């Protein structure tokens, strides 16, 4: 009976004591385990917290900004970047874009301390219900912390660090400062970082010009820019945009009417060319090389420089169009002879296929176009347009026998005729007279920087030079004798607008003004009746053709008072362009003309100024001497005063008046081959003035009965 009572009462005192003791030990052990766990976790958290980046660095944060390159009219021609970003202050961001971002990413941004507990719990519940991650609980501050300081790895450690950093950032910066950083830092697809670059990428406009619907579209991209890009899946992008607009309405950011208007808006996308493509790729690559040399890759690609150049995008388009018609690879470079500003540069027919910039990198033989430099040196050393040189066979000790393109010899010819029709033998004999060293010296003075051969082959353009060098040398002739420095960059400013570099025209007297005009006079006749007739313009101009042996290279370099352009055509492997037809006059001159006519269509024609020490004299085209009534071809040539011919033509005979430079037969019988004077308007005025003086003089003689 007693035993049954003990069983009903349970365990005895000893067993009960053991049970309580075990329970205490279990509880203590559990507490120790929990404490240890919490201690370890706490230690880890403390370690992680102490290893977090210093958020005060944000005060010195320098984001990767896009460098912009502009043409002379302020049009963007290229953007250089590692991350395409254009920083904008918060006050430039439209309020509806801010509302759209808050509605889609963090509607309680201005109320939490960096971590939104309710948002985390809400996201957790949504994810549990769906069985997968469908919603994130990250605040804008957390996203900023992740983008700036952490890796995108999806781990518990990264998430905890993200929360800690968000808390630190919130305690160090204002909400507006955080939001400005965020809006300029986020990636929005297609290489665009920040809302300004994204506005340019998707809509081709500034962020402050965006409509409500456009703002919602940008905000819609934040969640997954590659998924919601309208360039990849327009329907998906518009669906996400509509969600953002409805969220804005729900939160009271916009009215129902504003929401309906935004939903009905027809979005027009610009395509990605606005940011990605270079509009003048060969010129941009030329400028980029200089920028990298002067500023380094970091500042060029991350510093947000603003680079203002000399390029005229309209002229560039004309140049590219003209070069596209070339029968082989080609280059064209054009510059203003008065300033040296490069206005157009095309280094090849297809930049995507070949980035080799033939305008500045291809050193090719210029052929007879180099004769402009040869004859410039000759004029500086006593030669005139009327100087006679015998075009006859010549052979040198090494066996070299220069020949003319037509295979003929033309006897005694003037320098002018030899230049107009590009007689090789005469050029060699002139070089022999003045010495190759003299030609080299003048070439260097005029802008040729490449090494040149110190032998007579230089007279025929055996040197290897670039189209840009030839354009600079010809500019020296076009502008009255000054060497100009070719300039591509006008100004460089930093991201804050501070001036870093400014380039102005530089001039250095290279040849005499009179010499330059004599060459202008010679070269304008190359295009009126010489080898360059296919380059003739309806305005004063001059130029020279160039063709190398076996028709490997073809050139035309020419100018007006306002523009110089050099055209080069040739195969990169130096194979011939063709036979007989592939000359500079036939294939390069028409391309030059095509470009120049379009480039100057809005520029009023002007003539080359005549130096005071230049005079014009009628001469026999064949002998270069004063004409007689028997001379069949009388032309007017420019001379420096004191170098005019004094002897009459001894080829055609006949007589002439010793009093003046008129013919003994009536003026209306002047041979039709003769040409009008240069600067016809000025010369006509001078002739009329002289006629009036002569008339009054004759009246005085008659009045006082004096015989003339």
d(CA 463, CA 356): 20
Angle at alpha carbon of residue 610, lines to 605 and 615, rounded to 5°: 135
Written as six digits, the tokens of 137 are: 């609980």
| DSSP 8-state code for residue 222 | S
Residue by residue, DSSP assigns 129-198 as HHTS-------HHHHHHHHHHS-----HHHHHHHHHHHHHHHTTS-HHHHHHHHHHH-B-STTEESHHHH
d(CA 183, CA 102): 11
Cα-atom radius of gyration of the chain, to the nearest Å? 41
d(CA 454, CA 596): 34
Written as six digits, the tokens of 199 are: 């506005």
Written as six digits, the tokens of 564 are: 């110089």
d(CA 467, CA 556): 10
Angle at alpha carbon of residue 544, lines to 539 and 545, rounded to 5°: 120
CB 278 within 8 A of CB 77: yes
d(CA 566, CA 467): 6
d(CA 298, CA 311): 25
d(CA 69, CA 306): 6
Helix, strand, coil percent values for the chain (each to nearest 5): 45, 15, 40
Place of tokens 């081959």: 673
d(CA 236, CA 281): 35
Active site (catalytic) residues? 105, 368
Written as six digits, the tokens of 581 are: 């037809």
Written as six digits, the tokens of 632 are: 């069949």
Count of helix runs (H) and strand runs (E) in the chain: 22, 18
User: How many residues in the chain?
Assistant: 708
- Residue 571 CB-half CA count within 13 A: 11
d(CA 450, CA 442): 13
Q: How far apart are the first and last CA of the chain?
A: 180
d(CA 86, CA 63): 10
Maximum Cα–Cα distance across the chain: 185
* Strand-pair partners of 637: 617
d(CA 65, CA 303): 5
| DSSP 8-state code for residue 266 | -
CB 600 within 8 A of CB 629: no
């Amino acid at each position: 009976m007693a035993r049954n009572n003990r069983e009903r009462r349970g365990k005895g005192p000893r067993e009960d004591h053991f049970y309580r003791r075990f329970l205490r030990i279990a509880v203590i052990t559990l507490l120790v385990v929990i404490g240890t766990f919490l201690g370890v976790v706490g230690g880890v958290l403390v370690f992680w917290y102490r290893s977090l980046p210093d958020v005060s660095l944000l005060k010195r944060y320098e984001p990767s900004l896009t460098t912009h390159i502009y043409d002379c009219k302020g049009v963007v021609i290229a953007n250089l970047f590692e991350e395409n970003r254009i920083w904008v202050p918060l006050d430039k961001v439209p309020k509806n874009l801010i509302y759209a971002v808050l509605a889609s990413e963090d509607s309680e941004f201005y109320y939490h301390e960096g971590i939104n507990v309710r948002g985390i719990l809400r996201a957790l519940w949504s994810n549990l219900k769906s069985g997968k991650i469908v919603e994130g609980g990250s605040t804008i501050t957390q996203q900023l912390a992740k983008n700036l300081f952490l890796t995108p790895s999806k781990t518990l450690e990264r998430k905890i660090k993200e929360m800690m950093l968000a808390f630190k950032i919130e305690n160090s910066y204002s909400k507006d400062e955080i939001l400005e950083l965020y809006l300029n830092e986020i990636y929005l697809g297609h290489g665009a970082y920040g809302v300004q670059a994204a506005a340019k990428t998707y809509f081709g406009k500034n962020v402050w010009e965006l409509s409500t619907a456009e703002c919602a579209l940008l905000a819609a991209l934040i969640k997954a820019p590659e998924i919601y890009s309208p360039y990849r899946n327009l329907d998906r992008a518009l669906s996400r945009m509509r969600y953002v607009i409805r969220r804005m309405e729900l939160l009271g950011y916009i009215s129902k009417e504003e929401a309906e208007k935004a939903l009905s808006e027809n979005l027009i996308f610009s395509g990605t060319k606005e940011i990605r493509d270079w509009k003048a790729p060969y010129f941009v690559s030329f400028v980029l090389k200089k920028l990298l040399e002067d500023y380094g890759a970091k500042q060029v690609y991350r510093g947000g420089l603003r680079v203002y150049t000399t390029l005229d995008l309209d002229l560039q388009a004309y140049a590219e169009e003209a070069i596209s018609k070339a029968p082989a690879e080609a280059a064209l470079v054009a510059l203003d002879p008065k300033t040296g500003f490069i206005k157009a540069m095309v280094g090849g027919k297809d930049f995507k296929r070949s980035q080799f910039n033939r305008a500045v990198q291809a050193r090719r033989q210029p052929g007879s176009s180099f004769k402009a430099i040869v004859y410039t040196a000759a004029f500086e050393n006593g030669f005139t347009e009327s100087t006679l040189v015998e075009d006859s066979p010549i052979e040198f000790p090494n066996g070299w026998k220069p020949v003319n393109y037509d295979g003929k010899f033309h006897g005694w010819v003037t320098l002018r005729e030899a230049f107009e029709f590009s007689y090789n033998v005469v050029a060699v004999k002139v070089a022999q007279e003045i010495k190759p060293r003299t030609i080299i010296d003048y070439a260097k003075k005029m802008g040729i920087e490449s090494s040149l051969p110190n032998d007579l082959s230089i007279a025929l353009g055996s040197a290897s030079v670039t189209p840009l060098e030839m354009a600079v040398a010809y500019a020296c002739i076009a502008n009255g004798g000054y060497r100009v420095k070719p300039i591509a960059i006008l100004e460089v400013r930093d991201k804050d607008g501070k001036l870093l570099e400014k380039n102005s025209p530089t001039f250095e007297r290279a040849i005499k003004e009179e010499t330059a005009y004599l060459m202008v006079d010679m070269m304008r006749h190359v295009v009126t009746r010489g080898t360059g007739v296919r380059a003739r313009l309806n305005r004063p101009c001059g130029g020279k053709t160039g063709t190398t042996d076996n028709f490997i290279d073809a050139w035309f370099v020419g100018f007006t008072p306002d523009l110089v352009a050099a055209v080069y055509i040739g195969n990169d492997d130096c194979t011939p362009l063709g036979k007989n037809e592939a000359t500079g006059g036939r294939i390069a001159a028409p391309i030059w003309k095509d470009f120049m006519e379009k480039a100057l269509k809005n520029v009023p024609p002007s003539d080359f100024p005549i130096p005071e020490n230049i005079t014009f004299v009628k001469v026999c085209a064949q002998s270069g001497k004063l004409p007689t009534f028997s001379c069949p071809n009388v032309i007017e040539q420019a001379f420096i005063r004191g170098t005019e011919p004094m002897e009459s033509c001894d080829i055609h005979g006949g007589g002439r008046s010793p009093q003046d430079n008129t013919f003994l037969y009536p003026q209306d019988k002047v041979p039709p081959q003769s040409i009008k004077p240069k600067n016809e308007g000025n010369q006509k005025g001078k002739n009329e003035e002289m006629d009036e003086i002569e008339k009054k003089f004759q009246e005085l003689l008659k009045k006082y009965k004096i015989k003339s």
